[in-house]
Each structure stands twice: as C-alpha cells, then as structure tokens.
Amino acid sequence: MRRSKVTSFCKTTNSSNHGIKNTYGDMPELMENILNNLNDEIYSLHSCALVSRHWCQMSIPFLWQDPFAFNQRPSFISNYFSSLGEYEKIIFKKCGINEEFSKTLFDYARFLKVLNLGKLESRVDDWIELFNSKSLNDDNDDNDDTSSYHIINLLFKLFIESGAILHKFSLYFSESIEFKPEIFYSLEQNVQFFSQIQHLTLYIIDLNVKSVTTLLRALAKNATKIRTLKFREHYNDDHDNDNDMLQLIHSFIYFIKSQELRKISLVGVRYFTKFHGFISALESQKCSLQEVRIKNCNFSAEFELTVSSIDARPIALMLKKSGILLQRLSLESIGEKINEEPLLLETIKSFCPNITCLKISNFAFSTQLIELIDNFQKLQILSLRCNTNDISEEKLKIRMIQFSEKLPLTLQYFCLGHWLGKYTDILLNHCNAPLKKLLIYGIYDEKVFNALVEFCIRIKTLNYVGIEEYSNLDDNIRKELEAYVALVPSKSTDFDF
C-alpha cells in the first residue's frame, strides 16, 4: 500500500487534533503490543491504518516514528508543513516554494522517535527537487544547497518544538548540514527532545566543529539514558592536522563521561594519535560498559600499539575493568601478531567469567585457550579461527580431542573456519555440547561425513549445518546428510555479533 493512500484518508481541512494527544494512553495494551511487533513492517502498518478510523488513529504514530528510513516518495515531507507561520512562509519563498499545504488530522512531527540526519538531508534534497521539477524556472537549481540548508533547519526546529521525544539519533555532518543558532535555543527550551535517546551515532564526513560540539554539549546535558554509542569518521584529506578535530574529540570524551554506556563502537577514527583521555573516559564507564568495538582506527601511545604488533596489555587492562559485567567479546587480529597473548587469555579467564558470546580470530590454538573456553560455563555462541602452524600433527590431534571434550554444555552455536580442515571429524566425534547450529567450511571427506551423521544421531539437538563451500557439495552427499539435518549455504560472517 502506498503511504499517499493513508495520508489522504487522514487529511482533513476541518478537523482538530482532539483526541490525538491521548493516542497512546487510550490504546489497548494488546493492540499496542501488536503494533510494536509490526514496527518494521511498513506495509502491514499501512494496512492497519486503512481498516478503520480508529485503527488509523492507532497505527499512524507507529508509521511516523522513523519516516525517513523508508524508500517512499519525498512528498510525505509536506505533511509536516500543514500549518505555516509568516517566518516559515518567508523561508519557503526564498527557496522558490510557493505551495499551499493541506491541513492534517495528525501532528506528524510529534510521533518522531528515530532521526538520521544523513537520511533527512537526502529526503529533503529529493523533496526540493520535486518542487523544482514543477517549476518552469531553471534558476532554482542554483539555490538547491541554500534551500536544503533552510529546510533542514526548519524541519529540525519543528521536530524539537513539536513535543517529539527521540529514542535513536544519528548525527551526520557534511558541508550542507549546519545548524542555525535558533536550533540550539530551541533545544534549551525543549529538553524532552533528547531526554530519552538510547542509541546515538556520530558520523563525520565534513566537519562543522561548532555545530557538532554544541550538539554534543546539549546531548551531554539533556540525554542521560544513552546505552549504545557509535563514532565513525569518513576519511577526508581536509581533516588532516585540523585542530577542529581535536575540539570534537575533547567534546566526545566529555560526552562519554556524562553517560552510562553499555556499548561503544569506534570506526575509522584516525585521530587516536591525539586522543588523550580516551582510556580514562572508558574507565568512567566501568560499572556499565559491556562491549567496546574499535575498527580501522589510528592509536596513540596510550594504547601501546606499534606498527608490527599489537600489545595486549592495555586491552587486558580494559578487560579487568569490565570484569563480571562483560558478556560479549570479540578478539580479532587481521595480519598482525599479538604480543602478550597469554596475559590477555589469563585476564579474560580471571576477570570475565560471564561471557556468553565469544569470537576469537588469529590466536594460537594453545592449551591455555582450551582452558579459557572450558572456564566459560555460560557460553552460548563461539566463533573460532586459530593458528596451528607451530603444532605437530600428533599434538594437534590430541589437543583437538581435549578441546572438543571441554566445550561447555551451554554451547548452542559454533562457527569453525577452514583452519580445522581434516580434523573436523575429531571434533564432532568428541563433542558433547548440545549444538543447535553449526557452521563449517566444507565436507572434506568420508570421515567428516560419517562424523557429522553420528553427531546428529548421538546429540539430537542440531537444527542445521551452515556450509561455506555449499556450492561445491556433492549432490548425493547433500541428499544423504539432509536425511539427518538441514544444510544451508553460509559464510563466516553469519556468526558476527
């Protein structure tokens, strides 16, 4: 169903907002649960809105929680401008938009809960282009950037002052996104807008330091419930040696210290060489932090990293701070040697007993690693890729038996790469964990085939086996195995978390 059908059903020129303010309060609990479960099913929500006026009244708030995420005609933005003051009319006139917008039954802006500034910018550009295509004046193309600037600010101000309360916010900064001073004044007057944010993403493409740092200060002051924080920098030569980036980093650290974060992710941040204070910022979160992800970042001496190797000592220090709170852990080294690997494994074993999800890549397949996994009595998901280059074939077989027998009985999902190879049968023959899902590279030979069949008969819990080399699997072998367990094409990233 097209959104235009829904909005045309709900538009009126003579209706007031009577009753809409209490939409959530009047909603039956069961119906609210149903609509919550349909939150990502846009067409199902559209159908609900068309059942009756009452269903429309209940469904519309869900449809407009994250309107910029859906691939739809940009004309929906017009619904936000049903009531324009003189100031707004002047702005539209400057942008070459002389349109009379119909009154609507709903105050759509008030329903907003998810806002991604990057998607907002894109949809606004499409909306402006829609009006330009109606105009006979080709000069409008020269004013698109200015128009986008004004409309984005107008929409953002409208959202803030509508009474909307964000739950998820993605700060996306490019050259065309700059906020007027009136935006920050509105934020001061409408503190509820940021007060319930739980997930925050900061994505820097072209830095406008004043807008970013001012917004971060407003967030630090008004948003105290953020649980997930992502910081991503898009590589741009203009950032090199830019003191503005340092101002942003200091504001970012200040912001971290104002929260009780559970997850933090840093991607592509090249300014760790100047990122003094980041460790202390993480230490301030030691009572709440469960997960830290750092990817494609430059590091400073604070992290004790060198070009040729990774020193595990500062990582071990962070893991000590996480202690019993840590449940999900991913340790991956791509092409780099890990120094102090035994120290890192011992720290995890001593301070992180409650791990439920573990991903380890490029570690030595040592007896210490086996003891570590044996120590996890709550482990449910395990993804393992180990280095076996320095282990003789005889020792490797013995170690594989020990490893298989010590897999926790709580383990349900197990991902193996091609490193195990021809020893897959040994693992299956000695594994007693009640696995539900198994991911392997391939069925190498008859021994692996027989071991997999016997494992299915013996354990009886396996629901499916994902095979990376599924396309190369012999049809007869596939048919025989499918009599015992479902086989699906898979890849190693299926177990990423």
DSSP string, 288-323: T--EEEEES----GGGTB-SSEEE-HHHHHHHHHHG
User: Mean pLDDT over residues 126-132, rounded?
Assistant: 84
- Given a cut of 60, is residue 85 above it in pLDDT? yes
Look over the chain and give the mean of its residue pLDDT values, rounded to a whole number.
79
**Pairwise CA distance, residues 36 & 208, whole Å:** 37
pLDDT, tens digit, 9 for 90 and up, residues 218-268: 898 999 889 999 888 765 555 554 566 777 778 888 888 888 888 888 787
Q: Provide the pLDDT for residue 338.
A: 64
Euclidean distance between the first and the last CA atom of the chain, given in angstroms as a whole number: 34
- Average pLDDT (55-79) is 83
Q: What is the mean pLDDT of residues 178-182?
A: 88
Model pLDDT, residue 194: 95
14 three-class SS = coil
Segment 79-105 shows an average pLDDT of 81
- Give the pLDDT band of residue 141 (cuts 50, 70, 90): low
162 has a pLDDT exceeding 70 = yes
- Residue 373: predicted pLDDT: 93
Angle in degrees, 0-180, between the axes of helices 393-405 and 367-375, rounded to the nearest 10: 10
User: In the chain, where are the structural domains located?
Assistant: 326-497
State pLDDT tens for residues 341-372.
Answer: 888 888 888 888 899 999 988 888 999 999 99
pLDDT over threshold 60, residue 152: yes
Check residue 250 and give its pLDDT.
Answer: 80
Query: CB-based contacts of 24: which residues, under 8 Å, 6+ apart?
Result: 32, 61
- Residue 31 has a pLDDT of 66
pLDDT reported for residue 433: 95
Contact 207, 245 (CB under 8 A): yes
pLDDT given for residue 362 in this prediction: 84
Lowest-confidence segment of 56-70, 307-321, 439-453 by average pLDDT: 307-321
pLDDT for 169 equals 95
The pLDDT of residue 10 is 40
Four-way CATH pick for 326-497: 3.80.10.10, 3.30.70.20, 3.90.1150.10, 3.90.550.50? 3.80.10.10
Question: Mean pLDDT throughout 7-35?
Answer: 48
CB-based contact 471:448 (threshold 8 Å):
no
pLDDT band at 192 (very low <50, low <70, confident <90, very high): very high
DSSP 3-state helix, strand, coil percentages of the chain (rounded to 5)?
Answer: 50, 15, 35
Share of the chain above pLDDT 70, in %: 74
Say how far apart CA 250 and CA 253 lie, in whole Å. 5
Q: Which band of pLDDT confidence, cut at 50, 70 and 90, is reported for residue 178? A: confident
For residues 369 and 351, give the distance between their C-alpha atoms in angstroms, rounded to a whole number.
15
Highest mean pLDDT out of 12-26, 69-83, 228-242, 473-487: 473-487
Average pLDDT of span 456-468: 92
Residue at token pair 């899902």: 437
CA distance 42 to 9: 17
Q: What is the pLDDT of residue 465?
A: 92
pTM above 0.75, yes or no: no
40 or 66: whose pLDDT is higher? 66
